[in-house]
Structure 1
Amino acid sequence: MALVEEDTLKELKDVNILWSGYLYNKGSESRFAVFLRNIYKAENSNNEAFTKMYLIER
């Protein structure tokens, strides 16, 4: 199993996707106000603070 970004997934062959989703990539969630602001932006189609990730297996 591996957790890979979307660009890496495109390079791989014969893999099963077990999960896909967005992970927060802007440091720590301990900066709660910044985290909430980025969630609000993501809900309005600005996903720059999140990375699309896939959990895969062969």
Structure 2
Amino acid sequence: MKAYLANGLFSLGDRLVNEQLAAAIREAVPDIALYVRRRMMPSMINRLTRIV
């Protein structure tokens, strides 16, 4: 199954939420091909979660 995650994508908070939501969707639906616009790099996510 293919899907597109449509959500806010301009602020760093939006991007962090999108990554967390995408991870939850991928875990719930293992064979999904999920496209997330402006995907963040794992290193950026790690830095942001330490700040928050």
Larger radius of gyration: 1
Question: Quick check: TM above 0.5?
Answer: no
Q: When the two structures are superposed, what TM-score results if normalisation uses the length of structure 1?
A: 0.34
Q: When the two structures are superposed, what TM-score results if normalisation uses the length of structure 2?
A: 0.36
Query: Going by fraction, where is strand more abundant, 1 or 2?
Result: 1
Query: Going by fraction, where is helix more abundant, 1 or 2?
Result: 2
